[in-house]
Structure 1
Amino acid sequence: MLIYNTTFQVDDAVHDNFLIWIKESYIPEVQKHGTLKAPRICRILSHRDEGSSYSLQWEVESSGLLHRWHMEQGVRLNDELKKIFKDKVVGFPTLMEIVE
């Protein structure tokens, strides 16, 4: 099992709207695809001078399935994120393997 994590840096000006969008639009849309499972949103508590950081984690069975999801849905959703929030939200993905 793998964990697909996206860390988002969110500008204070769009913070509330970002959380609404991620919970009410993004996560339900991803769940419709059925590839990524068990979403978890975590606030990152590391010290930051401005904005907030969040980690959105999903379980996925393989990197091949993740790649298929990315091509079929992920690119479109990332474009939507950029269209809505412009440079006020920046995300970067990390793929992790569960060791224990």
Structure 2
Amino acid sequence: MLIYNTTFQVDDEVCDNFVIWIKESYIPEVEKQGTLKQSRFCKILSHRSEGSSFSLQWEVENSSLLHRWHMEQGTKLNEELMKLFENKVIGFPTLMEVIA
């Protein structure tokens, strides 16, 4: 089992709208396809004075399925994110393997 994590750095001025978009649009859209499962959306606790950080995690069976998801759906959703929030939201993906 793999965990596909994206850490987002979000400017204060768009933070509320970003959280709404992730919860009401992004997550439901990904869940429709069914490749990525068990979403976890977390706020990262930090001492930074500007902006907020969030982690969005999904379980995926293997890297081939993740690649297919990215080609079929992930790229389109990333384009939507960029269109809506421009450079006010930056995402950093990480793929992790569950050990225990």
- TM-score band w.r.t. shorter chain: over 0.9
In angstroms, what is the RMSD of aligned CA positions?
Answer: 0.5
Work out whether 1:28 is the aligned partner of 2:28: yes
Q: How high is the sequence identity, in percent, across the aligned residues?
A: 76
Q: 1:3 maps to which residue?
A: 3
Q: 1:85 maps to which residue?
A: 85
Q: 2:41 maps to which residue?
A: 41
Give the distance between the partners of 1:38 and 1:11, measured in 2 at CA.
Answer: 27
Give the distance between the partners of 1:50 and 1:78, measured in 2 at CA.
Answer: 23
Per-residue Cα deviation, 1:45-92 (whole angstroms, up to 9, x for no partner): 132121000000000000000000000000000000000000010001
The 10-residue stretch of structure 1 (85-94 or 41-50) with the greater mean CA deviation from structure 2: 41-50
Normalised to the residue count of structure 1, the TM-score between the two structures is: 0.98
Q: How many residues align?
A: 100
Q: 1:63 maps to which residue?
A: 63
Give the distance between the partners of 1:15 and 1:67, measured in 2 at CA.
Answer: 28
SS at match of 1:90: strand
Instruction: Give structure 2 stretches of 5+ with no counterpart.
Output: none
Instruction: Give structure 1 stretches of 5+ with no counterpart.
Output: none
Runs (4+) of structure 1 exceeding 4 A deviation are none
